[in-house]
């Protein structure tokens, strides 16, 4: 589920919308749009009910010719917010 209002803003996922969707469907939901920190990933899972998260702009530098991965959180950092 992508919140187009939050996409690319780094303001965090739309947790209220995410909670509404995950509360109504019986399928896994992937949160997308708005991640700006590792804590946002955990909030989407724990407060929003997401089964998974996507964090594109948060971890990718978008240069003029191609995208280059520059800032991916470490395993321990991810475990800290997702467990």
Strands 30-31 and 67-69: unpaired
Domain assignment present for residue 6? The answer is no
**In the predicted structure, residue 68 carries a pLDDT above the cut 90:** no
Domain assignment present for residue 44? The answer is yes
Domain assignment present for residue 8? The answer is no
Check: CB of residue 35 under 8 Å from CB of residue 41. Answer: yes
Domain assignment present for residue 9? The answer is no
Domain assignment present for residue 2? The answer is no
% of residues, the chain, pLDDT over 90: 66
Domain assignment present for residue 1? The answer is no
Supply the range of the domain harboring residue 66.
15-76
Q: What is the count of structural domains for the chain? A: 1
Residue-wise over 19-46: b if at least 16 C-beta within 10 A, else e?
Answer: eebbeeeeeebebbbbbbebebbbbbbe
Domain assignment present for residue 5? The answer is no
Confidence of residue 69 (pLDDT cuts 50, 70, 90): low
Per-residue pLDDT reduced to its tens digit, 12-43: 999 999 999 999 999 999 999 999 999 999 99
């Amino acid at each position: 589920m992508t919140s187009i209002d939050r996409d690319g803003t780094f303001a965090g996922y739309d947790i209220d919308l995410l909670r509404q969707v995950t509360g109504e469907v019986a399928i896994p939901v992937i949160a997308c749009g708005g991640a700006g920190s590792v804590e946002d990933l955990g909030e989407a899972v724990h407060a929003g009910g997401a089964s998974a998260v996507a964090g594109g702009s948060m971890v990718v530098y978008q240069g003029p010719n191609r995208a280059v991965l520059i800032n991916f959180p470490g395993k321990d950092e991810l475990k800290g917010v997702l467990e």
